[in-house]
Amino acid sequence: MSDSEMYDLAVIGSGPGGYHSAIRAAQYGAKVALIEKDKLGGTCLNTGCIPAKALYASADLIQKLRESGADHGIISDYQLDFARAVERKNRVVKELTDGIATLEKGWKNDVFMGHGKILDGNTEAGFTISIEGKECGEVNARTDCNTKIYLQHSGN
């Protein structure tokens, strides 16, 4: 990307609201910059509800087998291998984050891994957004007066 590129929509934060907004805007023909400081998918996908539910599902399966496995002819002393449960959780998270990256790429949205910051601007003249990160160095995304900036509220 050049030092400054124009976008119709700049989305700061790639949680569920952010990445969905970016895709929806692209479906309407907008040129979109999606900016994420950590990992695609935000808190819910990476460290919140999705990983917790993946671990819960493993523990719940063992509990159900202990409680009613004998009714089905299943007899064993089931134990949780926590390391393998964590590996499964990590696979689930990776599949979902990879899926988001594939969707964004498919809609030709530019994804920047870095800290997005609105430097200046207004709805009349447009905005300058600084993106600082190890993968992109320091670049600016410029918008015009018709551009919208969507700030995705994060759990962080």
CATH number at residue 111: 3.50.50.60
Query: Averaging pLDDT over each range in 54-63, 118-127, 144-153, which range is the top one?
Result: 54-63
Inside any domain, residue 66: yes
pTM of the model: 0.80
Whether 106 is in a domain gets the answer yes
Flag whether 49 is in a domain: yes
> Is 139 part of a structural domain of the chain?
yes
**Number of structural domains, the chain?**
1
Question: What are the helix (H) ranges across the chain?
Answer: 16-27, 42-46, 49-68, 82-106
Is 113 a member of any domain?
Answer: yes
- pLDDT for the residue numbered 94: 98
Task: Examine residue 58 and state whether it is found in any structural domain, yes or no.
Answer: yes
> Looking at the domain assignment, is residue 115 inside a domain?
yes
84 pLDDT above the threshold of 70:
yes
> Domain residues for 98?
4-151
The answer to whether residue 95 is domain-embedded is yes
Residue with structure tokens 């949680």?
Answer: 15
Which one of 4-13, 16-25, 138-147 scores highest in mean pLDDT?
A: 16-25
Range scoring the smallest mean pLDDT among 46-50, 115-119, 150-154: 150-154
Q: Which long-range contacts (CB under 8 A, 24 or more apart) does 27-31 make?
A: 27/107, 31/6, 31/7, 31/110
Distances, alpha carbon 130 to alpha carbons 25, 43, 106, 133, in Å: 21, 22, 25, 10
Residues in the chain, total: 156
The Cα 152–Cα 149 span in angstroms is: 10
CA 17, 141, 107, 41 torsion-angle sign: negative
pLDDT (mean) for 100-107: 98
